[in-house]
Structure 1
Amino acid sequence: MRHHLILRVITKLLIGSIMLFALYVQFHGDYSPGGGFQAGVIMAVAFIIYGVVFSLDEAQRVLPPWVVHKMAALGVLIYAATGVYSLFVGYGFLDYTALSPDYPEKGQHYGILLVELGVGVTVTGVMVTIYYAFTSRTPIMDDEAW
């Protein structure tokens, strides 16, 4: 474990910056390139790098599989709830004006933020789930067979 000390220290320094950049992309996606999908992938990369450097068990201790599965479902729920809310108040599905009828521009902004948040949470959950699935499988051949 000690022979990877520099890699571990650099990884710990980078993970915070990667997550911060993911949040930047998430919340500035409606004004600049980016949004929920890109932010979700970037956020997932932070957890995946942590798992690659420190081990799958450590990554699952930080972000347990049950939380990851709930994230994937929660993101879809946020996305759908935004559209269903607009239906309940008399607008079309995903008509963001329903979120602020007096100020439609604000409604557009809120709606885009909510939908992109849902996409980001779902993508993070799905990408980390895929990583957990691939790394936890039993290999068919041992390393010496290669």
Structure 2
Amino acid sequence: MNPHLILSVVSKLLIPVIVVFGFYVQFHGDFGPGGGFQAGVILAVAVILYALIFGIDEAQRAVPPVAIRYGAALGVLLYAGVGVAAMLMDGAGEPLNFLDYDALHPDQGHHTGQHYGIMLVEIGVLLTVSSVMLSVFYAFAGRIPDIADEDW
């Protein structure tokens, strides 16, 4: 019998709830407290809990380190790309403003460009934060200890 049966069963029930809550914080960030940073940490916590219960090797099979590196790079590129796109789409004769979201959508009356821009930026922050948190965790969890378990 598995000595960690209760932990594995409870974590299998808890991890999907953590992920759903992370996405709730991400997509509710436009209307209240929260957003990409908090959601990124919450999603990383779900993978870290999985690694603590089932082992670092299982976690790295579920979320490979190469996907984390691509996620961090893609998040930064998305964040910067929204800013550059806003600069390039800005009206002629006006100063170019980095992350001026109104330039992203022509309907200036309802500021729909603001909604699109902040959502894309927050998704970029989510990708970057969760990827960096997981890469730090993988780096520390995957290190070889200085003292063997028998020597304690």
* Identity across matched positions, percent: 57
The TM-score normalised by the length of structure 2 is 0.92
Secondary structure of 1:118's match?
helix
- Code of the residue aligned with 2:6 in structure 1: it is I
Higher helix share: 1
| 1:86-97 pair list within 5 angstroms | 86-90=86-90, 91-97=96-102
Report the Cα distance in structure 2 between the residues aligned to 1:23 and 1:54, rounded to whole angstroms.
23
Secondary structure of 1:115's match?
helix
Report the Cα distance in structure 2 between the residues aligned to 1:99 and 1:88, rounded to whole angstroms.
10
Higher alpha-carbon deviation: 7-16 or 101-110? 101-110
Aligned to 1:59: 59
Aligned to 1:131: 137
Alignment of 1:98 onto 2:103: yes
Q: 2:127 aligns with which of 121, 134, 137?
A: 121
Q: 2:26, 2:36 within 8 Å by CA — same for their partners in 1?
A: yes
Q: Deviations over 1:52-83 (max 9, x none)?
A: 00000000000000001111111001100000
Aligned to 2:33: 33
Q: Deviations over 1:90-143 (max 9, x none)?
A: 341100001112235211111111111100110000000001000111111123
Q: Unpaired runs of 5+ in structure 2?
A: 91-95
Aligned to 1:71: 71
Q: 2:76, 2:125 within 8 Å by CA — same for their partners in 1?
A: yes
- Would you say how many aligned residue pairs link Structure 1 and Structure 2? 146
Q: 2:113 aligns with which of 90, 107, 115?
A: 107
Decide which structure has the larger Cα Rg and report it: 2
Q: Unpaired runs of 5+ in structure 1?
A: none
Report the Cα distance in structure 1 between the residues aligned to 2:85 and 2:16, rounded to whole angstroms.
35
Q: 2:89, 2:104 within 8 Å by CA — same for their partners in 1?
A: no
- Code of the residue aligned with 2:112 in structure 1: it is K
Report the Cα distance in structure 2 between the residues aligned to 1:26 and 1:16, rounded to whole angstroms.
15
Secondary structure of 2:3's match?
helix
